[in-house]
Amino acid sequence: MSETGEEFDLLAIETLKSRYLQEGEKDWEDVCKRVAKAIALNRGEYTEFLDIILSKAFIPSSPTLMNAGTPSGQLSACFVIPVEDGIEKIFDSVKTAALIQKTGGGTGFNFSKIRPDGSVTVSGVGTASGPVALMRLFNEATEIVKHFGKRRGANMGILDISHNDIISFIRAKRTEGVLSNFNISVMLTDSFMSLADEGRMDEVWNTETGTKIGEIFSEIVEGIWRNGEPGVLFYDHINRDNFTPALGDISATNPCGEEPLLPFESCNLGSINLSILVEEGKVNRDSLREAVRKAVRFLDNEIDVNVYPVPEIEKATKKTRKIGLGVMGFHDMLLKLGLPYDSEEALRLAEKLMGQINRAAIRESEKLAAEKGPFPEYENSIWEFPVRNATLTAIAPTGTISILAGCSAGIEPVFSWVYRRARIAGKEFMLVHPLFETHFKQKLSKPDYNRLLEHVYAHGTLQDITDSKIVSEEEKGLFRSALDINWKTHIDIQAAFQRHCHAGISKTINMPVDAGKEDIGKALIYAWKQGLKGLTIYRTGSRQHVVLNLKKR
């Protein structure tokens, strides 16, 4: 019997039907067969690929599930498109982004080459409108292309901390609904962060504009406190892991931040389901290694069978052959092992697991290099032995594929044990986390169990339940959800995974509604010191639509 609750199965089926089934397909198995057939180069691979996807031990990201074996054939989720200063080039970038988004891929841009608002244009006639105004152009293009694609187009807009328009960029999303197809991130450097950390807030950062360190830092903090925007990226940490520095610096990531890429590179993502690796209270390390081995081959094959939106992307991608193998179901794994998310053991496990995955992935890439040759830019890279892929690991949000797998998303803690899921295909679902359900249904009488559900639904937590017969102290430790967990722990877990991950990690650092601005400032500094490549903080209820939902409730 499946471990997921009935409602979870129902949600997976509805998601599958509404987004992934092609004409003539009726279930998950049909999707897996189409995908495995499109990616496998021979019968042996077909059987291996079918096995890992069908069993949900590994699931490739949405564009692959949607497009493999179809006329579109575009398999990648992540792209970075350069934006040069000049009308013609800018519209070329908009066009490339539109072609990518039509197929379900997400695009990231660094707008720092665009001259600041008000400066004189190249022709000397009129003034430049600056990066923020330009982002609206990209945003509108996404808005229109949305209607042609199966999934919402997503953009990441980035601006370097030394750009003259940095303050207006940080404020660009302050009004709810503006630039709704963008996540925005400030690209921070070590030198800026060191000065902020030393409290040298009165020092001038930008001599042209006279803007001080403190002004910029507090604008970022203010924006995050208000509605979670902007996110931040740490340039030096990203480029510390640039395996091909001869090809240039990395200045942008895909929309959710897990893939820092060079201009025109694309990357195929896929995630291993950690939850199903727990057998009799232990992690099955052999199954993990097997899944990694097959997944690396799968993702590497994708690079050759992929249909690229424009020739520049094919060229850049095939030079480095980056793949993004990640994980999902980490919190479910911890629950099955009886370990609280905020425990020393969880941190140690995160580190150990990701270390194993990274090593196994490198080993497989080494074998692939021996069979098929290393990535073409290998000689220009910092790798000391030949591998087939310049980078191998990245942790994606797994927003949809974790629903298909019926496990917790990425490395996130479960957001809530009981919640209502907005309508999908005309149905509304009341969801109880399957492991929570199994645990408390066994222990409690039916009326007590129902009272517990009502309490958790209304309060969003079980930490405030005083009756120890309903919830013991130990259970309170185990069943802590995203908001019961301190921001520091969120960052520590992200850092533990990051230490063994080539690319980046998509994760939200949740803070309670009453978190202060000083907490946000501290979190930014702490995350930088822990070596993260980027950070997204979200203070509960700080976005309008969330507030409305709460009121309605």
Give residues in contact with ligand UDP (CB under 6 A).
61-62, 77-78, 105-106, 151-152, 154, 254-256, 258, 269, 396-401
Give the HSE-up count for residue 136: Cα atoms under 13 Å, Cβ half-sphere. 9
Nearer to ligand UDP, 49 or 440 (CB): 49
Nearer to ligand UDP, 405 or 515 (CB): 405
Among candidate residues 215, 219, 229, 258, the one labeled active-site is 258
Alpha helix stretches (DSSP H) within 407-516: 434-443, 446-459, 473-478, 487-498
Q: How far is the CB of 265 from ligand UDP (least distance, A)?
A: 13
Nearer to ligand UDP, 215 or 258 (CB): 258
Residue whose token pair is 């000391």: 384
Residue 399 corresponds to which tokens in the numbers above? 């927003």
Residue 274 CA to residue 49 CA, distance in Å, equals 17
Q: How far is the CB of 277 from ligand UDP (least distance, A)?
A: 19
Nearer to ligand UDP, 217 or 497 (CB): 497
Q: How far is the CB of 518 from ligand UDP (least distance, A)?
A: 30
- DSSP string spanning 316-328? HHHHH--EEEEEE
Alpha helix stretches (DSSP H) within 55-172: 62-67, 87-102, 130-145, 166-170
Nearer to ligand UDP, 146 or 517 (CB): 146
Nearer to ligand UDP, 258 or 332 (CB): 258
Residue 366 CA to residue 389 CA, distance in Å, equals 9
Q: How far is the CB of 380 from ligand UDP (least distance, A)?
A: 27
- Residue type for position 551: K
Among candidate residues 155, 254, 306, 389, the one labeled active-site is 254
Q: How far is the CB of 258 from ligand UDP (least distance, A)?
A: 6
Q: Omega into 230 within 30° of 0, i.e. cis?
A: yes
Backbone angles phi, psi at 28, to 5 degrees: -55, -40
Nearer to ligand UDP, 398 or 494 (CB): 398
Among candidate residues 32, 78, 256, 407, the one labeled active-site is 256
Residue 7 CA to residue 27 CA, distance in Å, equals 17
Residue 289 CA to residue 19 CA, distance in Å, equals 30
Residue whose token pair is 């092992």: 337
Residue 486 CA to residue 511 CA, distance in Å, equals 8
Quote the DSSP letter at residue 258.
S
Nearer to ligand UDP, 101 or 540 (CB): 101
Residues 6+ apart with CB under 8 A from 464: none
- The 3-state DSSP class for residue 527 equals helix
Quote the DSSP letter at residue 85.
S
Query: b vs e for 497-506, b when ≥16 Cβ sit within 10 Å of the residue's Cβ?
Result: bbebbbbbbb
Q: How far is the CB of 291 from ligand UDP (least distance, A)?
A: 17
Q: How far is the CB of 106 from ligand UDP (least distance, A)?
A: 3
- Judge whether 254 counts as a catalytic residue: yes
Backbone angles phi, psi at 137, to 5 degrees: -65, -50
Q: How far is the CB of 545 from ligand UDP (least distance, A)?
A: 16
Q: How far is the CB of 396 from ligand UDP (least distance, A)?
A: 3
- The 3-state DSSP class for residue 374 equals coil
Residues 6+ apart with CB under 8 A from 154: 101, 106, 107, 142, 181, 183, 255, 256
Nearer to ligand UDP, 107 or 381 (CB): 107
Residues in the chain: 553
- Judge whether 181 counts as a catalytic residue: no
Residue whose token pair is 């803007």: 211
- Judge whether 258 counts as a catalytic residue: yes
Longest dimension (CA), the chain: 78
Catalytic residues: 254, 256, 258
